[in-house]
Every structure is written in C-alpha cells, then in structure tokens.
C-alpha cells in the first residue's frame, strides 16, 4: 500500500471520525452477502444480525477476539448450522434454504479451523474424493469401475499446485501440521468454488510457512478469480493481504473497512484492539 493511500485514509478517518460505518450495501449485488444473519444457542447469541457484502474477487479478513462468533459465522454461512434468522446470498441468489452438502456444488467452499481430513486415506485420495464429489454431485450411483482411478489426474494437478505432490501417497494423518493445513486448502479448492471461506489457514504455522501459505492463497485467488473470506489472527497477514476487514465482537459486526480505516477506527480500538494499539 502506498504512503499516499494511507495518508488519504487517515485523513478520511479524521474527517468523518467514524469512516468504517459504510452505507449498507445490497447483499444481492455481491459474490457473497448476508442479511440480518443470526445464530442463537438457547439464550446465547453467537452471531447477531450480521450484514455482509463481499464483492467478487475481494480478499476479506474476518477478525475479532476469541468467542466473537467468527467460526460460527462460517458455520451459518455454509449451513453447517442452521441460522436462527436472516438470509445468505451467493452471486445475487438467495441460498438460505440450500442444504450444506449442496453449497459446495454451487460454488461455496470452506476449510476448517482444526485439521479435518480423511485421516487414514492417502493425500491423493483425500483430494480425489473431493474432485469426484464435485463432478458427480452430492449423490451418485457410481457403482462401476475402480474408484481410485476416477479423476486421479485432476487430483494430482491440484496437489502439484499446492506443493503436496511429493506426499501424494502419504496417509493424511502422517503429514506435518502445516501440510495438513495445506491439504485442507487443497480440498476446498478441489470443489472449484467461486467463494472460499478459510478458517485460520495459517494457525499453528511458523512465520516462513505462514508466508508461503498466504502466497499460495493469493495466487489461487488470482488464478481462479476467487472471492475469499479468511478468519485470521495474525494481524501482520491481515493488514498486508486483505482488501477489507470485518471486525466481529460478541457476534456483531463492529466495523468493516480497508486495513487503514480499521486501524484508525476508534470503536474498534476501544472494543478490541485496545491492547494492540502499539502493535498496529
């Protein structure tokens, strides 16, 4: 980001004092939109009236303290959890009623915070099964032929892409933590998404590995023209890669804006970044 732009946004912040309260955009106009999305667990409100509008091709970071509802937001957006209220839009179409297993087939994919893998299967087979599913649909009576050979080439290509080629025949559970994170991303990519939700893709990685993973995500995003929502704790990564940042606190959207605007936002600083002011 150039110095000019930073100064500009700082000026803007000073002018309006509250630059991150952007006017509500139409969630139907974006790659991914939510309207009044809420999730209650009994009396606990985990996601509270969230309105998101993520334009096509944007890299959106979702940040917030632990328990802010970030992962729950992903779970509600993907329908892993049924929302208590609100709507979800994908490319202008309302998909609130579309089942979880249908969503990857219409372009909405996710990775997990924990390493969710087909642990005892090979790395190749992990990806291959996803490619097979993407091609055959949520259910198919594919009873002929050797399953392990179906879409094997496509799966290998994806492994090449994410740098796991050498581990194709390794059981997923025997991969290093970082490679397991990468495999998670590879599987999400294998669904050929238009919108990709990544839940802490670099968690548990060293600085070098984190950088590689972020570069991988950026290159994939560019190539596939993806819209990416990424939950991330590492502020350095967040500030350097995201187009815009959404700050969640206690299930609510506290602010949304460019990295510069978020850094300058007083509400965010008070509620969340307080202790990190020096860091920023």
Give the one residue of 2, 15, 24, 143 binding another protein; rule: CB under 8 A: 143
Tokens of 255: 């602010």
Site membership for another protein, residue 160 (CB under 8 A): no
| DSSP per-residue letters across 62-73 | EE-STTSSHHHH
**Given candidates 146, 169, 278, 279, which one binds another protein under the rule CB under 8 A?**
146
Residues from 58 through 87 that contact another protein (CB under 8 A): 78, 80
178 is a contact residue toward another protein (CB under 8 A): no
The correct pick among 8, 22, 93, 142 for binding another protein (CB under 8 A) is 142
Asked whether position 252 contacts another protein by CB under 8 A, the answer is: no
- What is the distance between the alpha carbons of residues 102 and 156, in angstroms, rounded to a whole number? 25
Span of 33-41, 97-105, 204-212, 235-243 interacting with another protein by CB under 8 A? 97-105
Beta-carbon contacts of residue 195 (< 8 Å; ≥ 6 apart): 31, 32, 54, 90, 107, 108, 109, 226, 227, 228, 229
Residue 155 to residue 195: CA distance in whole angstroms? 20
Cβ 254 to another protein shortest distance, Å:
28
Q: Among residues 137 and 207, whose Cβ is nearest to another protein?
A: 137
By the rule CB under 8 A, 116 interacts with another protein: yes
By C-alpha distance, which of 156, 163, 198, 157 is closest to 179?
163
Strand partners, 45: 40
Give the residue among 106, 95, 78, 90 at the shortest CA–CA distance from 29.
90
CA 247 to CA 69: how far, in whole Å? 11
| 89 contributes a contact to another protein by CB under 8 A | no
Q: Check residue 23 for interaction with another protein (CB under 8 A).
A: no
Alpha-carbon Rg of the chain, whole angstroms? 19
* From candidates 51, 57, 65, 118, binder to another protein by CB under 8 A: 118
Spatial distance between the Cα atoms of 226 and 110, rounded to a whole number of angstroms:
12
Q: How far is the CB of 144 from another protein (least distance, A)?
A: 6
Q: Do residues 183 and 195 touch, judged by C-beta distance below 8 A?
A: no
Q: Is 95 in the site for another protein (CB under 8 A)?
A: no
Interacting residue with another protein among 129, 175, 231, 253 (CB under 8 A): 129
Exposure string over 41-65, b if 16+ CB within 10 A, otherwise e? eeeebbbbebbbbbeeebbbbbbbe
The least CB distance from residue 109 to another protein, in Å, is: 8
Instruction: By CB under 8 A, tell whether 44 contacts another protein.
Output: no
Residue 113 vs 267, nearer CB to another protein: 113
Could you give the dihedral angle defined by the CA atoms of residues 146, 151, 152 and 157, in that order, rounded to the nearest 10 degrees?
180
Q: Which is nearer to another protein, 44 or 143 (CB)?
A: 143
Binding site for another protein (CB under 8 A): 78, 80, 100-105, 109-110, 112, 116-121, 125, 128-130, 132-134, 136-148, 150, 187, 190-191
């Amino acid at each position: 980001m150039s110095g000019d732009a930073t100064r500009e946004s700082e000026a803007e912040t000073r002018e309006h004092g509250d630059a991150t309260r952007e006017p509500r955009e139409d969630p139907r106009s974006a790659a991914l939109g939510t309207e009044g999305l809420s999730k209650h667990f009994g009396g606990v409100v985990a996601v509270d009236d969230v309105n998101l509008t993520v334009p096509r091709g944007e890299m959106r970071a979702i940040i917030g303290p632990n328990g802010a509802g970030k992962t729950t937001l992903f779970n509600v957006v993907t329908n892993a959890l049924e929302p208590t209220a609100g709507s979800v839009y994908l490319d202008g179409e309302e998909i609130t009623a579309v089942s979880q297993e249908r969503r990857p087939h219409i372009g909405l994919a996710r990775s997990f915070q924990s390493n969710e893998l087909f642990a005892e299967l090979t790395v190749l087979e992990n990806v291959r099964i996803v490619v097979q599913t993407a091609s055959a649909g949520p259910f198919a009576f594919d009873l002929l032929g050797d399953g392990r050979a179906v879409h094997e080439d496509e799966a290998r290509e994806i492994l090449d892409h994410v740098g796991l080629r050498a581990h194709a025949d390794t059981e997923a559970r025997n991969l290093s933590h970082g490679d397991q994170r990468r495999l998670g991303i590879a599987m999400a990519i294998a669904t050929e998404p238009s919108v990709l939700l990544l839940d802490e893709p670099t968690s548990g990685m060293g600085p070098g590995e984190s950088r590689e993973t972020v570069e991988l995500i950026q290159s994939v995003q560019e190539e596939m023209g993806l819209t990416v929502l990424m939950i991330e704790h590492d502020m350095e990564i967040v500030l350097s890669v995201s187009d815009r940042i959404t700050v969640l606190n206690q299930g609510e959207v506290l602010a949304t804006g460019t990295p510069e605007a978020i850094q300058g936002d007083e509400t965010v600083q008070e509620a969340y970044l307080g202790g990190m002011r020096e860091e920023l």
